Chain A
Amino acid sequence: MELSYQIPRPALIWVLVAVVLVLLPQSVRMPVWISVVALCCVCWRLLIFNGRLNYPNRMVRVALVLFTLIISFTQIRNIGIGLDSAASLLALGFVFKLIEMRQKRDIYVVISLCFVMSMVTFLYSQSVVTTLYVMLVIAVTMGAMIALNRSSSVIDNMGTARLAIKIAAQALPLTIVLFIVFPRIAPLWAVPMQTGVNSTGVTDEMSPGDISELARSAELAFRVQFDDGVGLAHQQLYWRGLVLDNFDGSTWRRTRNSSAYSVAASLADFRISYNDRIRTVGEPVSYNIILEPTQQPWLFGLHLAEDVNDEFFSGRNFELFNNGRITQRLSYDLRSYMQNQTDVLLLGSSRNRNLELPDGGNERSQEFARELRASVTTDRQYANSVLTHFSQNQYFYTLNAPLLGENRIDEFLFDTMAGFCEHYASTFTYLMRAAGIPARVVIGYQGAEANPYENYLMIYQYNAHAWSEVWFEGEGWVRFDPTGAVSPTRIELGVQEALRDDPAFMEDDLFSAARFGGIGWLNAMRLRLDAIEYEWNQLVVNYDEDVQFELFERLFGEVTQQKVIMLMGSLALIVIIVVGFMVISIEPRIRRSPTDRFYLSVCKELAKVDIVRRQGEGPIAFRDRVCTERPELAEAMTELTQLYVKLNYAEKSVSEAEQKTQLLALKTVYSKLKAKLPALAGLRRVA
């Protein structure tokens, strides 16, 4: 019996659909050939079912195992043991199991793997869309389980789907309760989340063209929510990322200390002198940032940011770093002192680093800097006059900057005079250093779009920006944005306004809703959807052991282990009992035909005048009783019952249209009957 087990056809189709659905989001990340192999396996399985192909024999199976071993070996060599290689191996084993699936037990292995693969999907993304998609996958997988357990004679896919959705819906309340109350455990061991996904957002290098590249993308970079009562103008929103202080003539980079010792030394040095290096005025601004995965370790915040929960590292130049690459959405709280002074005293090595210029080249610019510096008295006046130079000459703010050659600074400053923020920041910083003033480039994001529905800000990749910080004696580092001198709109209203007519802007996302910001309802819908995503992130994705602990503490005061366990147990028990009661005691409703419904409503009307149909009394017996008890109703009742019996118990071959006309006839008879009812009711009242 076991040998001849044949998977019911509907069940096989359900399983294959579930497998394809579960692999679809993975196929984006996996190597293409795995998707091809998966497709082949699905087709093979279908052909086995049709009897055109056979199950793989021993040779083929051994070959497949060897193949998988070789693949896993090369994967580990090429990518390393990481999530990506593990996920693709899992997928491979999963599809191979498919062609070997003969018995019910094998199908359950595949079904269980469907759930595990859904989990893998969540490792990469936890957005609302992903969640909905995974719920669809699970519903289909449950459909497969149901189809597998139905009699093979039943082919009722709609019924299967309905039942699957019903069970899933019933399971949901229990899931939510478990999600909220089940004690979360901190990770047992650290797992490196290595993914082959390319990093996004600003990088730790800046060459001309890098940031204009980002401006072509309308992807979300991060979301920010300020504590209540904080209102910042658009031009104050400089989301500082990294400080680039090393220039080689074309690219700005972060200076990295090569030896571990010097890192440790500078870190110690930094620790000791942290409070001496900063001076702050006024109260800090508190806010929460939810950063989209960047695959990079650095974080963004308003200058001068302080990490509230003390979970990140601070860089030498007051940048913030996460411990490891950011592979999932990261939510963090910051506190920023908007009025601040840093490094009022600049030590020798730092000073030299921020004055360094490549040897030779860009002679015209150096000459220009020297002359301009000589014409004014203070460093600040010099910096302002460079800005004035930008604003008063024919400089353009554009994404399509002409290509630059050997002496980039010279060519941009005197010849092409058109560029994006990185050109201006780079040139401005160069001119500062050429005049002997310490200066550096800062990259990050500038500006934001407010979401009115949930009161938070959205920062997109096209908000990427570069600006300068200049060091003045007695003032420390001061922010200068040369782009603002060229295009004040960019800083005050945002990049969308500034580049309204630039075709290259957001060209990577042709159909992005953000492009159609001008269309009212579309824009409203986009903002609304983003607000949902934001709420989802705040309520669900970020729900971890700390949030859970806080919630319990708020609800029950001091939380002890016993209390949590008792709470969890009792809540889960209550839900199980309630849902169980619903499943078991509430019997499914019968679907009555329209004729039946009508007849029952007639009986109800009659009951109002004390003609009550008894339990189990058939329509004909009821009619007889009515006729003897209330002769005045006899004629109408007889006609009505006759029509009803004919409609309800006659052979089913009567066409639908005919049934409708008969039902209509029934209703007209009823109206005749009804006319007599008030009189009866009155009679009763008199009596």
Chain B
Amino acid sequence: MAYSLREALNKNYQRWIAKNSPPRDQITLNRKNIFIVPTRNGLLFIFSSGLVFIAAINYAVSLAFALAFLMVSIFILSILHSFNNLNQLTITSRSSQDVFCGEEACFRVQLSRSPKRRHESLELNFPNSLSSPPVNSTSCYTDLSDQDTEEVEVFTLSTKRGEFKAPRLRVLTRFPLGLCRAWSVVDLNLHCLVYPRPVQFSMNQFDSGSSGGSDSVINREGSEDFYGLRDYVPGDSLRQVAWKNVARGQGMQLKQFVDYVDNKIWLDWDMFYGFNVEERLSRLCFCVIQLSKSGNVFGMRIPGGEYPPATGLEHRKKLLRALARFGAE
């Protein structure tokens, strides 16, 4: 019950935030987008000022009254100072780098201040909900006291292949007294591309194929590249049985493999027959990484695009991006 209530609140909050802070590349914080609430420590502080006040009443001690009022004043001042610590802070989005799925996506933002202000103990992260500490995101702490601008990297876990739009960035501070928490949630339009998660497998057939002249099959009894299926004959190695097909009720069939010898390697969508789309993409992704690491010249054919053989980092990036965007159109 309580949980669902919190969920509902959170949903409302997200909707409200979305309405009030449209995505922009640069945002300057001001009283319209800074929120302040007392922290738990702040509530404790107010509670103890109440204790002092009650003691002052009962013992009729004038200066204890003054002390209680001083505590309340300090609390009010702490609200103002926390606000001031975020006020007029400018946050600009910077380019971000692509990542592999499952890695932490790194977003670069630039913080800048007017030369007359100081901002200390800023915490940046991508929150999941209203109040809970971020689960998938690592907070980044920084100061803006000496230099006018500072570039920081904020990380969050990438969970899905494809175009990844970062959640709203939260800038938070408890400075100076820790009695209040001032924060702002900004949508900086932070994007990055998430490549498929590479899945490791052994790919010996690529290593042997540096000599030879044509795109032909030379070794029918190869062991690496899938060629086709034939019916199972007793005595065949159980390791080559296409268990997936067995599970689908298609009877025992044997996978036949061949070794290709090719100086221009082609990665093909059909090389990973029997896997689903994401699994194929993951394997292709692994191939691209490995092949570009060993400096091979290779091309790729996937539904919707053919990339002629080439080499180099640009090529690698092009292929990876194609894999990341697969099926997005």
Considering only CB atoms, which chain A residue lies closest to B178 in the complex? A149
Contact check, A179 vs B66: say whether CB atoms are below 8 A apart.
yes
Q: Mark A314-333, 1 if CB is under 8 A from B, else 0.
A: 00000000000000100000
Q: Is A32 an interface residue (CB 8 A)?
A: no
- Measured CB to CB, the closest approach of chain A to B138, in angstroms, equals 10
Chain A nearest Cβ from B38, distance in angstroms: 12
5 further A-B pairs in the complex, CB-CB below 8 A; given A116-B51, A175-B70: A105-B41, A149-B121, A154-B120, A167-B176, A186-B60
Instruction: Report A-chain residues with C-beta under 8 Å of the C-beta of B72.
Output: 174, 178
A residues whose Cβ falls under 8 Å from a Cβ of B = 104-105, 108-109, 111-113, 115-116, 118-119, 122-123, 126, 130-131, 134, 138, 142, 145-146, 148-151, 153-154, 163, 167-168, 170-172, 174-175, 178-179, 182, 184-189, 191, 193, 328, 540-544, 576, 579-580, 583-584, 587-590
Binds A, one of B18-26, B75-83, B188-196, B278-286: B75-83
Tell whether, in the assembled complex, residue A119 and residue B77 are in contact, meaning their CB atoms are under 8 Å apart. Answer: no
A119 is contacted by which of B45, B56, B78, B83 (Cβ under 8 Å)?
B56
- A146 to chain B: closest residue by CB: B176
Whether the Cβ atoms of A108 and B45 lie closer than 8 Å is: yes
Determine whether B128 belongs to the interface, using a CB cutoff of 8 Å to chain A: no
Whether B177 and A146, one on each chain, are in contact in the complex, defined by CB atoms closer than 8 angstroms, is: yes
Cβ of A584 and Cβ of B67 under 8 Å apart?
no
Question: A167-B78, A583-B77 in contact; A104/B178 too (CB < 8 A)?
Answer: yes
Expressed in whole angstroms, the Cα–Cα distance for A131 and B297 within the complex equals: 82
Q: Of B40, B65, B176, which one neighbours A184 at CB under 8 angstroms? A: B65
Beyond A112-B44, A126-B62, whether A149 also contacts B174 by CB under 8 A is: yes
Cβ of B58 within 8 Å of any chain A Cβ, yes or no, is: yes
Is B64 located at the chain interface by the 8 A CB criterion?
yes
Instruction: State A168–B74 Cα separation when bound (angstroms).
Output: 7
Interface residues of B in 42-66 (CB under 8 A from A): 44-45, 47-49, 51-52, 54-66
Interface flag for B147 (CB, 8 Å): no
**Contact, CB under 8 Å: A149 / B177:** yes
Tell whether, in the assembled complex, residue A109 and residue B64 are in contact, meaning their CB atoms are under 8 Å apart. Answer: no
Some 28 contacts from A to B, beta carbons below 8 A apart, are: A104-B178, A105-B41, A108-B44, A112-B48, A122-B61, A122-B63, A123-B64, A131-B63, A138-B70, A142-B74, A145-B178, A146-B177, A149-B174, A150-B120, A150-B121, A154-B143, A168-B74, A171-B73, A174-B72, A179-B69, A182-B69, A184-B57, A187-B57, A542-B62, A579-B77, A583-B81, A587-B117, A590-B116
> A163 to B64, Cβ gap below 8 A?
no
Contact bitstring B124-149, A, C-beta under 8 A = 1, else 0: 00000000000000000111010000
Which A residues are CB-close (under 8 A) to B45?
Answer: 108, 111-112, 115
CB closest chain-B residue, reference A126: B63
* A591 smallest CB distance to B (angstroms): 11
Measured CB to CB, the nearest residue on chain A to B71 is A115
Contacts of A113 in B (CB 8 A): 48
Residues of B within 8 A of A588 (CB): 116-118
Residues of A with C-beta under 8 A to B71: 115
Give A113's nearest chain B residue, CB to CB.
Answer: B48
- How many whole Å from B304's CB to the nearest CB in chain A? 44
Kindly state whether residue B93 has any CB partner on chain A within 8 Å. Answer: no
Known A105-B40, A541-B63, A588-B116; contact A178-B73, beta-carbon cutoff 8 A: yes
* Min distance, Cβ A504 to any Cβ of chain B, angstroms: 37
Tally of contact residues, B, Cβ under 8 A: 55
The residue from B59, B63, B87, B116 contacting A584, defined by CB atoms under 8 A apart: B87
* Cα–Cα distance between A543 and B60 once the two chains are bound (Å): 10
Q: Which of B41, B45, B83, B143 has the most CB of A within 10 A?
A: B41
> Are A193 and B74 in contact (CB-based, < 8 A)?
no
Known contacts: A146-B177, A167-B74. The answer to whether A115 contacts B117 by CB under 8 A is no
Query: Bound state CA distance, A154 and B122, in angstroms?
Result: 13
Q: Which of B78, B115, B141 contacts A151 (CB 8 A)?
A: B141
Docked CA distance A150–B78 (Å)? 14
Complex Cα gap A587–B116 (Å): 6
Complexed CA–CA distance, A5 and B115 (Å): 33
Q: Which residues of A contact B67 (CB under 8 A)?
A: 115, 118-119, 122, 134
Report the bound CA distance from A108 to B59 in whole Å.
26
Find out whether the CB atom of B178 lies under 8 angstroms from the CB atom of A123. Answer: no
Taking the nearest CB of chain B, how far is it from the CB of A480, in angstroms? 41
For A111, the chain B residues whose CB sits under 8 A away are: 45
Query: Would you list which residues of chain B between 267 and 305 have a CB under 8 Å from chain A?
Result: none
**B206 part of interface (Cβ distance < 8 Å):** no
Q: With a CB–CB cut-off of 8 A, which chain B residues contact A590?
A: 115-116
CA A130 – CA B61 in complex, angstroms?
Answer: 13
Contact, CB under 8 Å: A584 / B83? yes
| B114 within 8 Å of A (CB atoms) | yes
Instruction: List 7 tightest A-B contacts by C-beta distance, closest first.
Output: A171-B73, A178-B69, A108-B41, A112-B48, A587-B116, A174-B73, A583-B80
